[in-house]
Amino acid sequence: MNFRPHSREEPEINLIPFIDVLLVILIFLMLSTTYSKFTELQLKLPVADVDALRDYPKEVLVSVSSEGNYSVNKLAVVGRSVAALSLALKDGAKAGKDSVVIIHADASARHQAVITVMEAARQAGLIQISFATQSSSAGDTR
């Protein structure tokens, strides 16, 4: 029989790997954190009257329906020919050659109807053309 007291070794916790892991996590958090609060600019944006009507003399609004009917500045155009549309564009262009043609085409309008508007604008001498779109969230036209 062995009556000698057994020397029990105390368990030792090694803290060095634990500290290494914590330092790696700390460095990762410091590098991946964005400091947007400190980098953003403080801007005061101008306020506009939303109820005021848009009246830009340089804009010529051309609407194209899904059936292929045209209207220039909310006035229906008689006929679907390039010549009739070109004449209506010349009458609707208040600023002359500096006018901007904004095409509001229905999503289901034929491609040829939009090309007709572009050709009529070219014949009328209006070379600045823009397309209006609608945002998917708010339903605004731009």
> How far, in Å, CA of 4 to CA of 98, rounded?
108
Report the predicted TM-score, pTM, of the whole model to 2 decimal places. Answer: 0.56
> Nearest Cα to 140, choosing from 70, 54, 62, 65?
54
Domain segments of the chain as ranges: 59-131
What architecture is domain 59-131? 2-Layer Sandwich (3.30)
Which tens digits make up the pLDDT trace of 48-88? Answer: 554 444 556 688 889 998 888 899 988 888 888 999 999 99
